[in-house]
């Protein structure tokens, strides 16, 4: 298929015409889903805020189901398709393999997403994101998800094909870049995830139309979570890739060690999928041995991988800043980092919030016995709002500040507001996540319409602190929604009204990435090694918080009733 290659004059990135169009469309649809998800977030947060209790229960559960599906699946998945095409076609400067397949995938995802949303808003499919059987949704709820998954699988296939094209056309020499490697990790996990999803959603769909008599409730939970949890691990691999991407573009950072960072991605591929077990720790159907081995990603190897990225990502930033001359003391490199650049600020807040809040809480929550203190409490959404939202969503928002000028060729409008947005959204979401976890620690349930239990035969009064935490969740949740709405406003505003930027030169042949001479390569590696003492201090702070919080929870556990 005939195609052209455009070299962006400001970034030097080279966009192939088909890939460019696909990236744009996927990114735009992603933003639309974020908008729908954000509107549903208002309903969720204003209902759980005890002072308001906005919606009646039926509408609340409908809206909550939509919020989960639209945010966790549709917003993130569409954006990830754009990331995959960027990391393959753009970074490797080659044509996209089989653009028609990619478009088929895109339209399947669009149709699937709309179909599932129609099912939800018709009101007969308020089964939550997890749709645990035997609670049944309308058949088109499941069918829409299946179509979306097939579409995403096609997108992954195009990504793999594009890697092959680049190799065959020799558009680069050496190994694929780190960011592409991270995207490859995400795509491999995605294939596993989608196949697991097919393994459970297809039978469940057949059950919903009456062709299968029963789907076992425990089996469903196990296989569904191989979809549900692994899909969040795709996000981790994708947003870690973006953590490497943004500092590389903004301050010219390079990985401390390619071997270490890539090794960490490899550990993700090998072990992340076991995390399905995180959701089954308080279930009857599995043995303790199974739970211990799986919940720890086979002895915490995937946690180790995340801790490694937690070192190498800020380490790469520190090394780059020190090379630029910010060498005073432990933290001059950090103080003089480009905090006014929303892409960098967003990326760094994402890193810190994911590490300190989402990461630590996730490991504690995923400890076999400690899970009993938190299973199905408000702690769980508190945890994943500091992984999927401050981690993934904020990283995606941050990289968009770079994509709008290069990919969409528009200048961002209102630069001052752009600067504020990542702080507003990132900090408000982090606080929201923290107070959600606080309420969960006190026992407050997730997915629950009324913490006052109106209409129950008995009364139970939550501690006053729980009401305070839920009130704070409401307050900071609303600020988060404002921060997210601001991002949508800025991005859509820039796409429509931003100053048009130059397209740059267009050619009908790709310009390959210049090969490194062996001498240049040698000087890149080894000889210019820079120490990263500031990063060492940061990761030690993470470790101390981690260890303390971990053992505090064992202490809590030792105080409850005896169980054996």
Partner 1 sequence: MSSILPPSRLWWKEPIAKTEWLWIGIAFVWGMIMFVMMIYWHIYGKQNLSNEAYKTSPEMFAAKAEKFIAENTIRTETDMDIPVVKVPPGGDGYLIARLWNWYPILELEKGQEYKIHLSSMDYNHGFSLQPVNINIQVIPGYEHVVKMTPTSTGTFAIVCNEYCGIGHHTMLGRIYVK
Residues in 202-241 that interact with partner 1 by CB under 8 A: 216-218, 221
Q: Nearest distance from residue 291's CB to partner 1, in Å? A: 8
* Number of residues counted as binding partner 1 (CB under 8 A): 111
SS3 (DSSP) at 506? strand
Buried b (16+ CB within 10 A) or exposed e, 417-430: bbbebbebbbbbbb
Q: Which residues pair with 410 in a beta bridge?
A: 500
Q: Which of 100, 107, 209, 285 binds partner 1 (CB under 8 A)?
A: 285
Residues in the chain: 564
Among residues 211, 284, 500, 502, the one that binds partner 1 under rule CB under 8 A = 284
Which residue lies nearer to partner 1 by CB, 2 or 561? 561
User: How many angstroms separate the first and last alpha carbons of the chain?
Assistant: 65
E strand or H helix at 5, and its extent? strand 5-7
Query: What's the min distance (Å) between Cβ of 457 and partner 1?
Result: 5
Q: Is 142 in the site for partner 1 (CB under 8 A)?
A: no
Distance CA 179, CA 166 (A): 15
The two structure tokens encoding residue 309: 């990225």
Among 258, 417, 501, 504, binds partner 1 (CB under 8 A): 258
Query: Smallest gap, in angstroms, from Cβ of residue 13 to partner 1?
Result: 9
Nearest distance in Å: CB 129, partner 1: 10
Whether the CB-CB separation of 61 and 449 falls below 8 Å is answered with yes
Report DSSP letters for 99-157, one per residue: HHHHHHHHHHHHHHHHHHHHHHHTTS---TTT--TTS---HHHHHHHHHHHHHHHHHHH
Q: How far is CA 231 from CA 61, 340, 475, in A?
A: 23, 32, 29
Under 8 Å between Cβ of 336 and 326: yes
> Smallest distance from the beta carbon of 15 to partner 1, in angstroms?
14
Assess 502 for contact with partner 1 (CB under 8 A): no
Q: How far apart are CA 220 and CA 224, in angstroms?
A: 6
Residue number with CB closer to partner 1 (13 or 109): 13
Beta bridge partners, 6, equal 15, 506
Residue 410 per-residue DSSP state: B
Question: Which span sits near partner 1 by CB under 8 A: 108-116, 174-182, 429-437, 502-510?
Answer: 174-182
Region at 518 (left for phi over 0; alpha for psi -120 to 50; beta for the rest)? alpha
Print the binding letters for residues 75-94 with partner 1: x by CB under 8 A, - otherwise: ----------------xx--
Write the binding mask 287 to 306 for partner 1: x where contact by CB under 8 A, - elsewhere.
xx---x---x--xxx-xx--
Write out the two tokens for 72. Answer: 């966790």
Region near partner 1 per CB under 8 A, out of 16-24, 386-394, 415-423, 450-458:
450-458
Binders of partner 1 among residues 452 to 471 (CB under 8 A) are: 453-460, 462-463
Applying CB under 8 A, among 99, 105, 113, 247 the residue interacting with partner 1 is 247
Q: Which helix (H) or strand (E) holds 14?
A: strand 14-16
Nearest approach, Cβ of 519 to partner 1 (angstroms)? 11
| Residues between 528 and 547 that touch partner 1 (CB under 8 A) | 529, 531-532, 536, 539, 543, 546-547
Q: Which CB sits closer to partner 1, 206 or 536? A: 536
State which of positions 399-418 bind partner 1 (CB under 8 A). Answer: none
The binder of partner 1 chosen from 146, 194, 253, 347 (CB under 8 A): 253
Stretch that binds partner 1, among 29-37, 184-192, 279-287, 383-391 (CB under 8 A): 279-287
Binding mask 99-128 for partner 1 (x = CB under 8 A): -----------------------------x
Reference 261, options 189, 190, 311; nearest CA is 311
In whole angstroms, how close is the CB of 467 to partner 1 at the nearest point?
Answer: 14
As measured in angstroms, the least distance from the Cβ of 219 to partner 1 is 10
- Per CB under 8 A, does 381 bind partner 1? no
CB closer to partner 1, 95 vs 152 = 95
Task: Candidates 281, 345, 349, 351: give the one binding partner 1 (CB under 8 A).
Answer: 281
Q: Which residues have a Cβ under 8 Å from the Cβ of 443 and sit 6 or more positions away? A: 377, 462, 466
Rounded to a whole number of angstroms, the minimum distance from the CB of residue 159 to partner 1 is 16
Q: Which is nearer to partner 1, 300 or 423 (CB)?
A: 300
HSE value, Cβ hemisphere, 13 Å, CA-based, for 162: 32
CB 424 within 8 A of CB 482: yes
In the bound complex, what is the minimum distance in angstroms from residue 108's beta carbon to partner 1?
29
Neighbours of 163 (CB within 10 A): 20
For residues 316-375, which are near partner 1 according to CB under 8 A?
A: 316, 363, 367-369, 372-375
Instruction: Identify residues 38-67 at the interface with partner 1 (CB under 8 A).
Output: 57-58, 61
Could you identify the residue written with the tokens 């890193």? Answer: 351
Among 359, 368, 385, CA closest to 440: 385
């Amino acid at each position: 298929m005939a195609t052209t290659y455009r070299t962006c004059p400001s970034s030097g990135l080279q966009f192939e015409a088909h890939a460019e169009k696909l990236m744009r469309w996927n990114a735009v649809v992603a933003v639309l889903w974020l908008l729908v998800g954000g509107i549903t977030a208002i309903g969720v947060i204003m209902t759980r805020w005890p002072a308001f209790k906005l919606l009646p229960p039926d509408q609340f559960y409908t809206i909550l189901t939509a919020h989960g599906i639209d945010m966790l699946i549709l917003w993130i998945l569409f954006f990830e398709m754009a990331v995959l095409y960027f990391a393959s076609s753009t970074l490797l400067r080659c044509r996209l393999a089989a653009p028609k397949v990619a478009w088929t995938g895109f339209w399947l995802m669009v149709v699937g997403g709309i179909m599932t949303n129609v099912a939800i808003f018709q009101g007969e499919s308020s089964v939550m994101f997890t749709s645990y059987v035997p609670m049944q949704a309308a058949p088109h709820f499941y069918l829409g998800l299946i179509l979306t998954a097939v579409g995403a699988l096609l997108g992954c296939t195009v990504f793999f094909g594009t890697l092959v094209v680049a190799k065959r056309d020799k558009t680069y020499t050496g190994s694929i870049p780190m960011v592409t490697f991270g995207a490859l990790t995400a795509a491999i996990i995605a294939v596993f995830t989608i196949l697991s999803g097919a393994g459970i959603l297809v039978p469940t769909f057949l059950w919903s139309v009456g062709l299968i008599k029963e789907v076992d409730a425990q089996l469903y939970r196990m296989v569904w979570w191989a979809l549900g949890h692994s899909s969040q691990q795709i996000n981790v691999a994708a947003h870690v890739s973006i953590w490497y991407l943004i500092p590389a573009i903004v301050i010219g950072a390079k990985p401390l060690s390619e071997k270490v960072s890539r090794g960490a991605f490899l550990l993700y591929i090998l072990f992340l999928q076991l995390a399905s077990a995180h959701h089954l720790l308080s279930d009857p159907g599995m043995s303790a041995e199974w739970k211990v081995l799986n919940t720890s990603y086979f002895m915490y190897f995937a946690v180790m991988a995340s801790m490694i990225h937690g070192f190498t990502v800020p380490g790469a930033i520190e090394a780059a800043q020190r090379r630029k001359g910010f060498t005073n003391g432990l933290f001059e490199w950090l103080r003089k980092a480009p905090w006014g650049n929303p892409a960098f600020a967003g990326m760094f807040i994402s890193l810190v919030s994911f590490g300190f809040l989402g990461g630590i809480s996730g490991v504690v929550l995923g400890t076999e016995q400690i899970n009993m203190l938190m299973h199905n409490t408000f702690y769980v959404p508190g945890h994943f709002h500091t992984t999927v939202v401050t981690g993934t969503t904020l990283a995606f928002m941050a990289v968009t500040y770079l994509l709008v000028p290069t990919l969409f060729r528009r200048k961002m409008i209102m630069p001052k507001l752009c600067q504020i947005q990542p702080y507003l959204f990132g900090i408000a979401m982090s606080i929201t996540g923290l107070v959600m976890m606080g309420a969960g620690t006190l026992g407050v349930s997730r997915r629950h319409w009324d913490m006052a239990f109106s209409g129950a035969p008995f009364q139970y009064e939550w501690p006053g602190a729980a009401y305070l935490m839920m009130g704070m969740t409401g307050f900071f949740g609303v600020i988060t929604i404002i921060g997210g709405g601001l991002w949508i406003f800025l991005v859509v505003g820039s796409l429509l009204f931003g100053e048009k930027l130059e397209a740059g030169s267009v050619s009908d042949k790709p310009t390959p990435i210049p090969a490194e001479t062996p001498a240049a390569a040698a000087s890149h590696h080894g000889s210019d090694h820079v120490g990263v003492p500031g990063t060492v201090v940061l990761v030690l702070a993470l470790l101390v918080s981690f260890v303390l919080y971990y053992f505090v929870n064992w202490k809590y556990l030792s105080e409850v009733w005896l169980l054996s």
